């Protein structure tokens, strides 16, 4: 495992470092998004919910999990919120349960609109042991303002030795139409990314992608601006959200995601939830294909994150199918051979005792350093050869799912 630069935070027994993968531009990062349970959920119920999530998610070869900080976002849109807002558990506390249950690190989202922002950081870092957070701004410009500004929050986190942080990027803000509403002559979201990078952001997580064009434009401008300033682009993790119901699609749009009219019509024209989910999977795969094709000449490292914004079965199932399809595409785009395996993940001592000291069969993702150009020339990738570069490790159950194939590795 490559060094991430800073030390401390998560248990050293974790199978892989999420931070290391986010900082490694030579390989993609793979994440699964999840939201905490309701605010008044009891500890026992929260553990049960967490266990069910991990029981399903461990079959997906991801580097870790995103745990979101859900805000009310009143005033985001003139349209009514399709799903009612409900207050949820603190993301750091729930992420701690997820990490200890799964044996994998979590990337914890934190909105700056918190009067106890620094106290929250203390708990996140010193009590829950997290090393990676995503600092996000206030949900809307309206409403009460508490806590630090975005700039102050990034400065506060940057001073903490054991915490790494990233930020969000929103391709919908990188269009001529949006620029015009802000009085700008041209799109400027890439400038926001540069500002956050200079403030210490070490990666970016995108808003959900349904339209590849704004994302490609943002990546191109970000890469060009970095070259102009002599900066190295940070990794951009692209988020994808399958849908199966008109109400879920309306919610995705309410969140500010641009869904092209033809894509919306194609999804809603299907007769069942399962068929609509399949159609959204096909469209999102096509989006990633377009981004990857453009990325061949764009020097920005990429990753993927997949999430469900609802509790509907068809959409949760679609997350698993979509994750496998997107992962295969982005790995194939690397131009090297890869395989899928499974291995045992040992949990920390406290969790092992609660589990009567049994080991947990889980997923992990391992990426050794890529070969040099001379090594590639000396070792052509021939059909049937065994690649020395293991590109992913996957739970044994994935073979039964038929998503990807691998062989046991201990």
* 8 conformational bin, left if phi > 0, alpha if psi -120 to 50, beta if neither: left
Confidence category of residue 45, pLDDT binned at 50, 70, 90:
very high
Q: 73: pLDDT confidence band, cut at 50, 70 and 90? A: low
The values of phi and psi at residue 152, to 5°, are -65, -40
266 pLDDT above the threshold of 70: yes
Whole-number pLDDT of residue 84: 67
Question: What is the structure's pLDDT at 396?
Answer: 34
* Mean pLDDT along residues 42-56: 94
Q: Which has more pLDDT, 6 or 327?
A: 327
**pLDDT score, position 369:** 52
Per-residue model confidence (pLDDT) at position 88: 84
Share of the chain above pLDDT 70, in %: 75
Tell me the C-alpha distance between 366 and 363, whole Å: 10
Given a contact cutoff of 8 angstroms between Cβ atoms, the answer to whether 350 and 101 are in contact is no
pLDDT value for 358: 33
Tens-place pLDDT, residues 75-128:
555 677 656 667 889 999 999 999 999 999 999 999 998 999 999 999 999 999
Q: In what order do the strands lie in the sheet with 340-345?
A: 360-362, 340-345, 406-408
CA distance 361 to 58: 8
Share of the chain above pLDDT 90, in %: 63
Contacts of 237 (CB under 8 A, 6+ apart): 22, 29, 31, 203, 204, 205, 206, 302, 303, 304, 305
Task: Give 144 or 121, the one with higher predicted confidence.
Answer: 121
Cα separation, 360 vs 362, whole angstroms: 6
Whether 262 has a pLDDT exceeding 90, the answer reads yes
Report the alpha-carbon distance of residue 33 to residue 65 in Å, rounded: 6
**pLDDT tens column, 229-257:** 999 999 999 999 999 999 999 989 988 89
DSSP lists the bridge partners of residue 42 as none
Question: Is 302 exposed, middle or buried (CB count within 10 Å of its CB: 0-12, 13-18, 19+)?
Answer: buried
Which of 78-82, 209-213, 338-342 ranks highest by mean pLDDT?
A: 209-213
Degrees (nearest 5) of the Cα angle 56, 62, 67?
Answer: 75
User: Alpha-carbon distance 49 to 275, whole Å?
Assistant: 27
pLDDT above 80 for 407: no
Q: Is 242 helix (H, G, I), strand (E, B) or coil?
A: coil
| Residue 346, pLDDT score | 66
Model pLDDT for residues 348-388, shown as the tens digit of each residue: 544 444 443 333 334 444 444 554 544 433 333 333 333 33
First to last CA, the chain: 17
CA angle 393, 397, 403 (to 5 degrees): 75
Over 90: is that where the pLDDT of 392 sits? Answer: no
Closest CA to 41 of 101, 89, 74: 89
């Amino acid at each position: 495992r490559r060094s991430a630069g800073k030390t401390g935070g998560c248990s050293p027994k974790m199978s892989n470092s999420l931070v290391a993968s986010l900082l490694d531009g030579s390989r993609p990062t793979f994440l699964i998004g999840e939201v905490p349970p309701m605010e008044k959920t009891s500890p026992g119920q929260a553990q049960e919910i967490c266990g069910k999530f991990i029981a399903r998610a461990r079959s997906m070869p991801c580097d870790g999990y995103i745990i979101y900080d859900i805000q009310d976002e009143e005033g985001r849109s003139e349209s009514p919120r399709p799903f009612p807002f409900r207050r949820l558990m603190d993301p750091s506390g729930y992420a701690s349960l997820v990490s200890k249950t799964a044996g994998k690190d979590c990337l914890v989202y934190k909105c700056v609109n918190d009067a106890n922002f620094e106290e929250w950081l203390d708990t996140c870092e010193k009590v829950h042991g997290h090393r990676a957070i995503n600092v996000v701004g206030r949900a809307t410009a309206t409403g009460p303002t508490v806590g630090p500004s975005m700039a102050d929050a990034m400065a506060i986190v940057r001073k903490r030795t054991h915490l790494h942080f990233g930020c969000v990027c929103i391709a919908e803000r990188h269009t001529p139409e949006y620029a015009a509403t802000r009085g700008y002559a041209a799109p400027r979201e890439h400038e926001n990314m540069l500002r956050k990078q200079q403030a210490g952001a070490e990666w970016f997580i995108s808003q959900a992608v349904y339209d590849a064009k704004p994302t490609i434009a943002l990546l191109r401008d970000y890469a060009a601006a970095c070259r102009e300033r002599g900066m190295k682009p940070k990794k951009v993790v692209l988020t994808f959200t399958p849908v199966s119901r008109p109400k879920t699609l309306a919610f995705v749009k309410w969140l500010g995601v641009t869904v092209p009219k033809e894509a919306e019509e194609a999804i809603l024209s299907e007769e069942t939830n399962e068929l609509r989910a399949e159609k959204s999977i096909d469209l999102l795969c096509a989006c990633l294909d377009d981004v990857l094709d453009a990325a061949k000449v764009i020097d920005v490292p990429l990753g993927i994150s997949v999430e469900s914004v609802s509790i509907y079965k068809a959409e949760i199932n679609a997350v698993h199918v979509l994750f496998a399809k997107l992962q295969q595409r982005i790995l194939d785009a690397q131009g090297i051979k890869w395989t899928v395996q499974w291995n045992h993940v040992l949990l920390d001592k406290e969790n092992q005792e609660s589990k009567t000291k049994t080991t947990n069969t889980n997923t992990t993702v391992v990426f050794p350093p890529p070969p040099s150009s001379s090594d590639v020339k000396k070792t052509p990738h021939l059909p049937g050869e065994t690649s020395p570069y293991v590109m992913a490790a996957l739970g044994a159950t994935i073979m039964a799912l038929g998503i990807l194939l691998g062989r046991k590795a201990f």
